[in-house]
């Protein structure tokens, strides 16, 4: 579902409303952490905003570093990283394909492995808070939450991450409430 969210300059932005808050994790499911640095990525803020407005998952995919371990049905979390503010988890969902080889997103002529995604929750970090990287580093210190290869498997503490994400979404539910969808 898509809802209208206000922002400055009388322009209306959107956030995808989560399908559910109480996440149940299948025991054989991996949790894959994707990284997005909009300063260097081919995927920009405008692309995220277009996706949120259209909720078009038919062409949405992401590169996955540990593609040998990832599979269809795995859980993903997208962490915004980089020099800009508001770094942290801004998207979650599930992979709807197995990894496949395609042209690298950098356009350098190399190949990378990608997976198609079904997005469950997406938040535009230009306008709304993310689950902060600082909180992730504190709660799950054995994983590097600040960047690096996108598509790494979180081998431990996936249940803790699910709890943190669910709590974050509950605490920030105003993002998804109808009364927040007022055009200014």
For residue 93, list its beta bridge partners: 76, 119
Please enumerate in sequence order all residues whose Cβ is within 8 A of that of 119, keeping only pairs 6 or more positions apart, or say none: 16, 51, 55, 57, 60, 91, 92, 93
pLDDT tens sequence across 65-107: 999 999 999 999 999 998 888 999 999 999 999 999 988 777 7
Both tokens assigned to 85: 């503010």
Helix residue spans in the chain (DSSP H)? 45-54, 133-139, 158-171
- Report domain extents, the chain: 2-20+28-174
For residue 6, list its beta bridge partners: 12
Query: Residue 92: in which H helix or E strand, if any?
Result: strand 88-95
Please enumerate in sequence order all residues whose Cβ is within 8 A of that of 84, keeping only pairs 6 or more positions apart, or say none: 38, 39
70 — alpha (psi -120 to 50), left (phi > 0) or beta? beta
State the DSSP code for 176. G
Q: What is the pLDDT of residue 133?
A: 96
Architecture of domain 2-20+28-174: Roll (3.10)
The model's pTM is: 0.80
> In angstroms, rounded to a whole number, what is the distance separating the alpha carbons of residues 176 and 170?
10
Both tokens assigned to 94: 């599930």
Mean pLDDT of the chain: 80
pLDDT tens sequence across 139-174: 999 999 998 888 999 989 999 999 999 999 999 988
Q: What is the pLDDT of residue 6?
A: 33
> In angstroms, rounded to a whole number, what is the distance separating the alpha carbons of residues 84 and 135?
17
């Amino acid at each position: 579902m898509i809802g209208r969210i206000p922002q400055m300059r009388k322009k209306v932005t959107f956030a995808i409303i989560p399908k559910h808050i109480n996440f149940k994790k299948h025991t054989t499911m991996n949790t894959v952490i994707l990284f997005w640095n909009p300063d260097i990525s081919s995927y920009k803020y405008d692309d995220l905003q277009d996706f949120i407005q259209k909720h078009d998952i038919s062409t949405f995919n992401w590169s996955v570093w540990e593609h040998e371990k990832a599979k269809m049905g795995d859980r993903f979390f997208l962490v915004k990283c980089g020099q800009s503010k508001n770094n942290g988890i801004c998207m979650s969902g599930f992979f709807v394909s197995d990894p496949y080889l395609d042209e690298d997103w950098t356009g350098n002529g190399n190949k990378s492995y990608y997976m198609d995604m079904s997005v469950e929750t997406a938040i535009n970090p230009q306008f709304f808070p993310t689950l902060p990287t600082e909180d992730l580093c504190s709660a799950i210190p054995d994983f590097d939450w600040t960047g690096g290869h996108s598509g790494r498997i979180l081998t431990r503490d996936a249940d803790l991450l699910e709890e943190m994400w669910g709590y974050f979404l509950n605490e920030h539910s105003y993002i998804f409430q109808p009364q927040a969808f007022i055009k200014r």
